Amino acid sequence: MLQKPKGTYDVYGSNGIKILYLENLLRSLMDKYHYEYVRTPIFEASELFHRGVGETTDIVSKETYDFIDRGNRNMTLRPEGTAGVVRSYIENKMYGNPSQPVKTWYMGPMYRYERPQSGRFREFYQFGVEVFGSEDPMMDAEIISIPVNFYRMLGLKGIKVNINSLGDQESRNAYRDALLKHFEPHLDELCEDCKIRYSKNPLRILDCKVDHDLDCMKNAPKISDYLNDASRKHFEKVQQYLDALEIPYQVNPNVVRGLDYYTHTVFEVEASVEGFGSQNVLCGGGRYNHLVETIGGPSTPGVGFALGFERLLTALEFEQIEVGDEHLDLYVIPMEEEIRPYAFALTQSLRMNGFSVDMDYMNRNLKGNFKQADRFQASYVMIIGTTEMETNILTLKNNQTQEEYKIKTDDLILFLDEHIKEEHDE
Ligand code: HAM
């Protein structure tokens, strides 16, 4: 039997209901925050990610899905959303937009050739935001507030916000020198990848999953000791704004992130629930003040984050939070074969009037149909027989209370409007 590729999954049944619920909630949240939707291609020129995400990151050096297209171009399935949105910002000259900052959001599949495990897939789904043109630390705090508010709306309790600052270029250079000095006598202890990181991008060493427990990793210098005044001030302001929003957070110097483009604020929100597993980072992001320039645009500050749907679903399950109920306004049961065209037309017409309506397509008996209505959690059931059709008086049953109503066909929409609305309001 043909099977799905390793590290991927199908969405169907109750998971489909949950995911659509989460997507809709994010859409309406972005409406409230007044961010605009962007969609970029799932594949891009490989060079974009080499320049954008960084050659020394695990993502680009080991995890991209690369292919050569039929025109001999090097292409890559996007491993993340930021680089593509930045490319689009530059290519579509959004920097010329009079209403700055440009605040965008996106949603879609990403691809990383990682070792599949719980919470880590090869095709996974992200929601993300990217904001361009503002250096204001308030923007950093706003970005952090988006996932926090979203997780709160869902009722997640076990979440922890970790923030850190990687500082500006000057601070990072000073820190880089300190790291080189610190790791030089320990080069022999480091893994082969870290030896390359040492010469190319020593900050990456801190992110290594192999060398994680070495003493020289534990007592490595901390970025916080190398922030210059401007970077320190920026970070303090971010914290003041988070305080103003009453968002609890921890300053955690170990948050360095796995992508090269960050400057100043970086953050991660983790599920801090016992037994959740090692892949507990629900979302991450930060500021990237040089990325637009690196990709060939005018010098423009940026800040953003992305969250993964898979780990979010696991977190919801872990905290036993149900989202997105199955729901149907009305289930229609035609009693005889001759009634079916009438019932079919009535079903269509009610759908066009704004109700969610389903009917029996399987010629079930009455008992089987009531079972089906229960499975769909239908609010009302309508049974149509010859008498109903001839008299134009329909029988509706409230599927919870079992109360019965006799309604004239002409009054049906009015009745449903009143009763279904009541149910929705409850
Ligand atoms: P990231 O930390 O690589 O950042 O990914 C963000 C989130 O995507 C993670 O916290 C996790 O929930 C989810 N995720 C990542 N890889 C996987 C995977 N293999 N399987 C399942 N879920 C995964 C970024 O992607 C940056 N572009 C975020 C950003 C936006 N920074 C600034 N703007």
- In the chain, residues under CATH classification 3.30.930.10 are 13-168+228-318
pLDDT at residue 422, as a whole number? 61
52 in ligand 1 pocket by Cβ < 6 Å? no
Cα of 308 vs centre of ligand 1, distance in Å, is 6
Q: What is the pLDDT of residues 37-53, one digit of tens each?
A: 999 999 999 999 998 88
310 in ligand 1 pocket by Cβ < 6 Å? yes
Question: Quick one: what percent of the chain has pLDDT higher than 70?
Answer: 99
Q: For the residues 250-255, what does the mean pLDDT come to?
A: 90
Reported as type and span, the H/E element at residue 23 is helix 13-33
Cα of 284 vs centre of ligand 1, distance in Å, is 6
What band does 70 get if pLDDT is binned at 50, 70 and 90? very high
pLDDT at residue 273, as a whole number? 84
pLDDT at residue 201, as a whole number? 84
Q: Which of ligand 1's atoms lies nearest the C-alpha of 307?
A: 7
130 in ligand 1 pocket by Cβ < 6 Å? yes
Q: What is the pLDDT of residues 205-234, one digit of tens each?
A: 887 878 888 899 989 999 999 999 999 999
End-to-end CA distance of the chain: 47
126 in ligand 1 pocket by Cβ < 6 Å? yes
- In the chain, residues under CATH classification 3.40.50.800 are 328-425
Indicate if the pLDDT at residue 425 is higher than 80: no
Give the tokens for residue 46.
Answer: 């490989």
54 in ligand 1 pocket by Cβ < 6 Å? no
151 in ligand 1 pocket by Cβ < 6 Å? no
Residues 6+ apart with CB under 8 A from 282: 147, 151, 159, 269, 270, 271, 307, 308, 311, 312, 315
User: How far is residue 215 CA from its own chain's centroid?
Assistant: 36
Give the tokens for residue 68.
Answer: 């050569």
pLDDT at residue 208, as a whole number? 82
> 13-168+228-318 has which fold?
BirA Bifunctional Protein; domain 2 (3.30.930)
Indicate if the pLDDT at residue 325 is higher than 90: no
> 328-425 has which fold?
Rossmann fold (3.40.50)
276 in ligand 1 pocket by Cβ < 6 Å? no
Separation of alpha carbons 310 and 65, rounded Å: 20
Q: For the residues 65-77, what does the mean pLDDT come to?
A: 98
Cα of 191 vs centre of ligand 1, distance in Å, is 24
pLDDT at residue 206, as a whole number? 84
- CA triplet 277, 149, 8: central angle to 5 degrees? 40
302 in ligand 1 pocket by Cβ < 6 Å? no
pLDDT at residue 289, as a whole number? 97
Q: State the chain's mean pLDDT as an integer.
A: 94
Cα of 339 vs centre of ligand 1, distance in Å, is 54
Q: What is the DSSP letter of 46?
A: H
Q: What is the pLDDT of residues 161-216, one digit of tens each?
A: 999 999 998 998 899 999 999 999 999 999 998 898 898 888 888 878 788 888 99
Q: For the residues 107-124, what does the mean pLDDT come to?
A: 96
